[in-house]
Amino acid sequence: MLTLLKIKNIALIDELAIEFGDGLNLLTGETGSGKSIIVDSLDALTGNRVSGDLIKQGEDSARIEDCLG
């Protein structure tokens, strides 16, 4: 089970760490708040291709890390 997701230099996100708990976890927020960026990051962790434009503008690299528990 995914317990922690760390994102750095992805789209509009400088740095973010999200802890997931047991059971159902929901992402909610207003339009433009970054929910799709988080979903795209999870998609990358599953091995799907990621577009190079997902890297934050002005940065050379990005990082997506997971912690499974």
Range of the domain at 45: 2-23+31-68
What one-letter code names the amino acid at 16?
L
User: Which positions of the chain have pLDDT values less than 50?
Assistant: none
- The dihedral through the CA atoms of 10, 11, 14, 20 has a sign that is negative
Contact 30, 12 (CB under 8 A): no
pLDDT at 69: 81
pLDDT at 16: 96
Strand partners of residue 15: 8
Q: How many domains does the chain have?
A: 1
Q: What are phi and psi of 27, to 5 degrees?
A: -105, 120
pLDDT at 50: 85
CATH of the domain at 37: 3.40.50.300
Whole-prediction pTM value?
0.87
pLDDT at 51: 86
